[in-house]
């Protein structure tokens, strides 16, 4: 996917309060405003032409509710391993890239000169927006890379695929249907490139054998003779893949 510059007209809006920031999403599909707090991130979705004064009134009215939701999140969420500061290492297909956090209007996240660059208005207080930008970046690249790998390996396995999607799974790396539809956990692109290949081959082979029988593993080994090494890497280190 070609990353394009975001014009000022389409930049997301941020409203800053003393204790949190609010992301404003404007849409022509809504006639009323809605508010959500998800993983410590406050978002208000409003009609496209709703006046700023009305948005401020909604936020003021819901201030106590927002603070309560944020407190609940802080109390029940595990401490994040990442600090989301410049210089932090971010894995992608077996290589570590350095995070570079810039101050400015929200802009598309880019990989340039060996650094993954994220731009937010207030980096020191907006780690959730930095994380959101990184997640979106990983999802875009996972969708592209995994589709490429499916196209590469489906002929080697000897199958035809249907729809290929990337999404977020809680406890698995991929799934398939008898119709050839495949779904992959986008987080897998944080693993080494060969491990990603293994996950793709694994799901493609399930289109031939819908279980983990000896015949299934024999097919996996035919396409990837060193699959056991990649399977073991995933078993040992896969739980640590996170943004």
pLDDT digits (tens, 9 = 90+) for 196-226: 999 999 999 999 998 899 999 999 999 999 9
Confidence category of residue 112, pLDDT binned at 50, 70, 90 = confident
Q: Is the pLDDT of residue 14 over 70?
A: yes
Q: Is the pLDDT of residue 78 over 60?
A: no
Confidence category of residue 73, pLDDT binned at 50, 70, 90 = low
Q: C-alpha distances in angstroms, 189 versus 26, 35, 78, 173, 225?
A: 31, 32, 23, 10, 21
Choice among 59-68, 155-164, 224-233 with the minimum mean pLDDT: 59-68
Confidence category of residue 74, pLDDT binned at 50, 70, 90 = low
Instruction: Give every strand in the sheet of 34-38, ordered side by side.
Output: 13-16, 21-27, 41-47, 34-38
Burial class (CB in 10 A: 0-12, 13-18, 19+), 132: buried
Residue-wise pLDDT tens digits, 124-142: 777 888 888 999 999 999 9
The reported pLDDT for the residue numbered 9 is: 43
Please state at what angle helix 63-76 crosses helix 52-61, rounded to 10 degrees: 60
Which has more pLDDT, 205 or 11?
205
The reported pLDDT for the residue numbered 7 is: 38
- DSSP, collapsed to helix, strand or coil, labels residue 182 as strand
Please give the average per-residue pLDDT across 162-186, as a whole number. Answer: 89
- DSSP, collapsed to helix, strand or coil, labels residue 121 as coil
Confidence category of residue 1, pLDDT binned at 50, 70, 90 = very low
User: Hey, what are 122's tokens?
Assistant: 């207030």
**For a pLDDT cut of 70, what percent of the chain falls above it?**
90
- The pTM of the full predicted model, rounded to 2 decimals, is 0.69
d(CA 178, CA 140): 26
d(CA 123, CA 60): 24
Query: Which residues lie across from 175 on neighbouring strands?
Result: 183
d(CA 141, CA 99): 16
Q: C-alpha distances in angstroms, 145 versus 1, 117, 139?
A: 10, 20, 10
Q: DSSP letters along 189-221, please?
A: GGS-HHHHHHHHHHHHHTTT-SS--HHHHHHHH
The reported pLDDT for the residue numbered 29 is: 80
Which has more pLDDT, 173 or 12?
173
N-terminal to C-terminal alpha carbon distance within the chain: 21
Please give the average per-residue pLDDT across 57-82, as a whole number. Answer: 74
The reported pLDDT for the residue numbered 11 is: 53
Which has more pLDDT, 69 or 132?
132
User: Hey, what are 83's tokens?
Assistant: 């600090």
Domains, the chain, ordered by start: 8-76 (no CATH), 89-137 (no CATH), 142-240 (3.30.2010.10)
d(CA 133, CA 135): 6
- Classify the phi-psi angles of 166: left when phi > 0, otherwise alpha if psi is within -120 to 50, otherwise beta: beta
């Amino acid at each position: 996917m070609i990353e394009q510059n975001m014009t000022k007209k389409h930049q997301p809006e941020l409203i800053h309060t003393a204790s949190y920031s609010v992301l404003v999403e404007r849409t022509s599909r809504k006639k009323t405003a809605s508010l959500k707090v998800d993983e410590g991130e406050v978002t208000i979705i409003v009609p496209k032409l709703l006046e700023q004064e009305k948005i401020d009134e909604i936020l003021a009215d819901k201030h106590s509710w927002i603070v309560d939701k944020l407190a609940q999140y802080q109390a029940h969420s595990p401490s994040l391993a990442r600090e989301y500061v410049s210089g932090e290492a971010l894995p992608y297909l077996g290589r570590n890239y350095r995070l570079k956090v810039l101050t400015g209007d929200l802009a598309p996240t880019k990989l340039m000169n060996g650094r993954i660059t994220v731009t937010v208005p207030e980096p020191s207080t907006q780690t959730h927006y930095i994380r959101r930008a990184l997640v979106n970046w990983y999802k875009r690249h996972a969708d592209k890379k995994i589709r490429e790998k499916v196209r590469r390996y489906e002929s080697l396995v000897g199958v035809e695929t249907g729809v290929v999607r990337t999404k977020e799974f809680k406890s698995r790396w991929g799934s398939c249907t008898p119709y050839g539809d495949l779904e992959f956990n986008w987080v897998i692109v944080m693993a080494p490139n060969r491990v990603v290949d293994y996950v793709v081959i694994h799901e493609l082979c399930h289109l031939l054998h819908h279980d983990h029988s000896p015949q299934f593993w024999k097919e996996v080994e035919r396409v990837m003779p060193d699959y056991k090494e990649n399977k073991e890497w995933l078993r040992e280190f896969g739980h640590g893949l996170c943004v």
